[in-house]
Amino acid sequence: MIRHIAVLIPARDEQDRVERCLSSVLAAKRACPVPVSITLVADGCRDGTAARALKCGGVDVLEVDCSNVGAARGIAARHALLGVKLPTEEVWLANTDADSVVPENWFTVQLGFAEAGYGIVVGTVRPDPAEYPEYLQREWKRTHVKGRPNGHIHGANLGIRASAYLEVGGYRALPEHEDVDLAARLSHHPRAASDEAEVITSARLDGRTPGGYAGYLRGLVGRVRERHVDA
């Protein structure tokens, strides 16, 4: 039985988005039947990310200067777990990003899978429609059919049982794809893929890492342009 959820959020220069992210997490927390703690790691920020996060209240804000998303996620996990005096099999790590917005049912969906025995829950993400042209939204929907989650790993929507996380050594200090690396090392744990609690994430093409979701979206733009040229 999960008795605590710890939310882990890395952030780098996200002052324009972090309050929206944390407001959504706090709203999901109010709908959650178990206690929730929230840790945000402001990593290498040169703006007001940390100050704006602190204004939201109910969030542990750590300032570091690693400039490494894997390290930032690992720091968040260590801090969160130090504050929870429970067996790690009763703790759940819910991961998202500071440029993302989680739905109100985010925790309850992950809890349902955790109680069913899953060690990792891979959730879907959707590029923010407010930032994404309609023709690209149509292209995205063409390959993302509701009710058929593709199982792609996204740090913006990922849940992991803490005992499983610690068993494989947690996040590695990788500059990108740290979420994919962790999920690969968790392959022996039961995994669920779900789009029941889809996370809205930034649709910007210039991301905080060389690849990541911004890299995927750039590729999508390129494929659409190629089809138009071929036509």
- Tell me how far apart the alpha carbons of residues 65 and 71 are, in angstroms, rounded to a whole number: 10
For residue 165, pLDDT over 80 is answered with yes
Burial level of 146, CB count in 10 A (0-12/13-18/19+)?
A: exposed
pLDDT digits (tens, 9 = 90+) for 29-63: 999 999 999 999 999 999 999 999 999 999 999 99
CA atoms within 13 A on the CB side of 154: 30
What's the pTM? 0.89
**Residue 142 burial (CB count, 10 A):** 8
Domain ranges of the chain: 4-230
Calpha distance 1→91 (Å, rounded): 9
pLDDT at 175 over 60: yes
pLDDT at 187 over 50: yes
- Give me the pLDDT at residue 229, please: 42
Label each residue of 22-42 as H, E or C. HHHHHHHHHCCCCCEEEEEEE
Task: For domain 4-230, say whether CATH 3.90.550.10 is its number.
Answer: yes
